[in-house]
Amino acid sequence: MNTIFETKLLVVDDEPGIINLLKTVLNQAGFAQVISAENCRMARELFASEKPHGVILDVMLPDGDGFSLMQELRQHSNVPMLFLSARDEDENRLLGLGLGADDYITKPFLPRELVLRLSGILRRVYQPLQTQPLPDECLVLGAVTVNFKSGIVKSGDGEKTLTAKEHALLKKLWENQGNIVTADSLCRSAWDDDLYGYENTLMVHIRRLREKIEADPSQPQYLLTIRGMGYKLAKETKQ
Amino acid sequence: MNTIFETKLLVVDDEPGIINLLKTVLNQAGFAQVISAENCRMARELFASEKPHGVILDVMLPDGDGFSLMQELRQHSNVPMLFLSARDEDENRLLGLGLGADDYITKPFLPRELVLRLSGILRRVYQPLQTQPLPDECLVLGAVTVNFKSGIVKSGDGEKTLTAKEHALLKKLWENQGNIVTADSLCRSAWDDDLYGYENTLMVHIRRLREKIEADPSQPQYLLTIRGMGYKLAKETKQ
DNA sequence: ATCAAAATTAAGGTAAACGTAAGGCCGGGG
DNA sequence: CCCCGGCCTTACGTTTACCTTAATTTTGAT
């Protein structure tokens, strides 16, 4: 996921160290704004005035406990809330989750894990299930796949990018997959003028294409030469 | 929360004891249908045919690992998935969550906690949050985040503001992230008239954009040139 | 009217992609 | 068996699409 939400998060904890750690970690991860409260009273006020998109709260607070606070906030809002606590007894976790917490993380915690868990929850809450983009249609040739939209050829040993000519030629072949395409036809789809001297130029480009899509360019499995006729992109053999 | 969804859940685990325990627990909790698979192959088949509303899977499976399976299923579906594992090493949790798991629960687990966590996730997924103002969607490129609404680019060393043209260009690229966008198409989305002299003007704006979003504008990591075709905003590489 | 910020124009530089040529291979027909 | 034509392969020279910087013009705010 490349896109995230620029969220305003309320952190409720009375340890300045934790507050600072969270601010650093969340800012680094791209969560823009972190506001903090060190007790229940401040948390209530900030929650009402700032309307944060999520809350992270400690279970033990100087003027009350996090459980009651969560219960109270939950009555007014359905935003993601998660507990951060040094107490990892079973009953506490069950109580916290039972009150509607989205997670219950025990201290000490891995900063990266907190970020992953939090962004997972935020994604679920703010990015509905339907909006997933459809994957691009790809050409699959054994162990390599070609994405024409991105121009990327993926294989076991990395990614390569197609050049303009390679892209045009392979696309033409793909559109006629399984059928023979004459050299002349290929040339007309990759070059706009009727320049001669093609014969060899085309071969060089075919060779370069083979270097990107074939395991062994000298023993082509997919981009085949049909002597005296042209080239053919073989269809995938069923399993 | 009193409401629960009548869901169809797929459990993937090779220990019959766990399967039975989960079936009992989940049925008791009101999750209507639990189907089970004991290996990756069965899981794939059942996932495709039954289209479950959620998946619980073990990390260690007889014919493969749960991580790969999750990665594969995630490409086709966005339903809730969570790991169940006897291995609670930090790296495994991070890996699992990084692959898009909604939770990572370690064995032995409290049945009630599993139910609470699962129903929390299902609630988030199938009961979207209507009443909350949505936070701004942001583009994340490594250490840099771009908020299109505010036009602000944040990085480690401060904030920069996008100009109108930069904003238009980056937005177009963002909308086609991962795909090649032709220079012509970019120009049409940033300029309304058919003015000529584009070629170079565009390049200068691309350069300025790179100065704001790239660590080293001369060695772009994200805003890439595809020679002879156009430009491409690379998708974040999933480590 | 004035000034700063943004957009555009211009011009020299560079390397990736392309084209060219030349020698080699290989199968088919004589 | 040999020869020939079609295709392969490699290296190398060239082109041109793109980069970069800086100067100039336009825009817009005050």
Q: Which fold has domain B138-233?
A: Arc Repressor Mutant, subunit A (1.10.10)
* Single-letter amino acid, residue B115: V
d(C-alpha A207, C-alpha A214), whole Å: 10
In tens, the pLDDT along A143-194 reads: 899 999 999 999 888 899 999 999 999 999 999 999 999 998 999 999 887 6
pLDDT interval class at A93 (50, 70, 90): very high
The pairing of strands B33-37 and B8-12 is: parallel
- DSSP H or E run through B160: strand B158-161
Tokens for B223, please give them. Answer: 């805003």
CATH match of B8-126 with 3.40.50.2300: yes
Statement: residue A131 has pLDDT above 70: no
**d(C-alpha A67, C-alpha A72), whole Å:** 9
Provide the CA A16 to C1' D10 distance, Å, integer.
67
pTM of the model: 0.66
**What does the block give as tokens for A102?**
């989205």
What are the chain A neighbours of B73 within 8 Å (beta carbons)?
none
**N-to-C CA span, chain B:** 37
Plot region of A158 (φ>0 → left; ψ -120 to 50 → alpha; else → beta): left
Query: In the structure, how far is the CA atom of residue A210 from the C1' atom of nucleotide D1, in angstroms?
Result: 35
Scanning the structure block, which residue is given the tokens 């040139």? B225
CB under 7 Å from any atom of strand C: which residues?
A: A 161, 163-166, 191, 197, 200-201, 204-205; B 161, 163-166, 191, 195, 197, 200-201, 204-205, 227-228
Q: Which member of A79, A94, A101 has the closest CB to residue B110?
A: A94
Nearest nt to the CA of A227 via C1' is D6
Cβ distance A85 to A104 under 8 Å? Answer: yes
Distance in angstroms (rounded) separating the CA atoms of residues A187 and A191: 6
pLDDT of residue A235: 86
The reported pLDDT for the residue numbered A2 is 54
CB proximity B89 to A under 8 Å: no
Average pLDDT over residues B200-210: 95
- Is there a contact between A113 and B97 if contact means CB atoms under 8 Å apart? yes
B23-52 in b/e form (b: 16+ CB < 10 A) is bebbeeeebeebbbbbebebbbebbeeeeb
Distance from CA of A227 to the nearest CA of B (A): 31
ipTM for the whole complex: 0.69
Token pair 């270097």: residue: A211
Residue A133 predicted with pLDDT over 60: no
- Supply the pLDDT for residue B172: 95
pLDDT at B1: 41
Average confidence (pLDDT) over A85-91? 88
Alpha-carbon span B238 to A202, nearest angstrom: 37
Domain residue extents for chain A: 8-131, 138-233
CA distance A202 to A18: 64
CB A1 within 8 A of CB A123: yes
User: Phi and psi dihedrals of B88, rounded to 5?
Assistant: -115, 30
Residue B11 identity (one-letter amino acid): V
The three-point CA angle A45-A46-A50 to 5° equals 130
Q: Answer for the pair B159, B203: CB distance below 8 angstroms, yes or no.
A: no
Q: How far is Cα A106 from Cα A116, in angstroms, rounded to an integer?
A: 15
Whether B8-126 shares its CATH topology with B138-233 is answered no
Mean pLDDT for A136-145 is: 87
Biggest distance spanned by C-alpha atoms of chain B: 72
Q: Which CA distances in Å does B127 have to A126, B121, B218, B226?
A: 11, 10, 46, 42
The residue whose two tokens read 């139910």 is B115
For the record, the structure tokens of B42 come out as 């069965």
> Which tens digit of pLDDT belongs to each residue from B28-79?
877 768 899 999 999 999 999 888 989 999 999 999 999 999 999 988 888 8
- Number of Cβ within 10 Å of residue A101's Cβ equals 24
Cis peptide bond upstream of A108, omega within 30: yes
Task: Return phi, psi of residue A218, to 5°.
Answer: -85, -15
Mean pLDDT of chain A: 88
- Assess contact for B162 and B169: CB atoms under 8 A: no
| Range with the largest mean pLDDT of A110-124, B25-39, B132-146 | A110-124
Residue A222's SS3 state is coil
Among A20, A68, A14, A22, which residue's Cα sits nearest to residue A42?
A: A14
The distance (Å) linking the CA of A152 with the C1' of C7 is: 34
Query: Averaged over A215-224, what is the pLDDT?
Result: 93
B129 → closest Cβ in A94, A110, A125: A125
For residues B86 and B106, the answer to whether their CB atoms sit within 8 Å is yes
Q: Crossing angle for the helix pair B40-50 and B66-76, nearest 10 degrees?
A: 20
Q: What share of chain B is helix, strand, coil (3-state, %, to 5)?
A: 40, 25, 35
Residue B141 · residue B236 · CB < 8 Å? yes
Alpha-helical regions (H) of chain A: 16-28, 40-50, 66-76, 90-98, 111-126, 164-175, 183-190, 198-213
Instruction: Please answer whether residues B46 and B38 qualify as being in contact, where contact means their C-beta atoms are separated by less than 8 angstroms.
Output: no
Q: How many CB atoms within 10 Å of residue A135?
A: 9
Say how many residues make up chain B: 239
Q: What are phi and psi of A205, to 5 degrees?
A: -70, -35
Out of 3.40.50.2300, 3.40.50.150, 3.30.1490.480, 3.40.50.10800, which CATH number does the structure's domain A8-131 have? Answer: 3.40.50.2300
Q: Answer whether B120 sits within 8 Å of A97, measured CB to CB.
A: yes
- Assign A135 a pLDDT band (cuts: 50, 70, 90): low
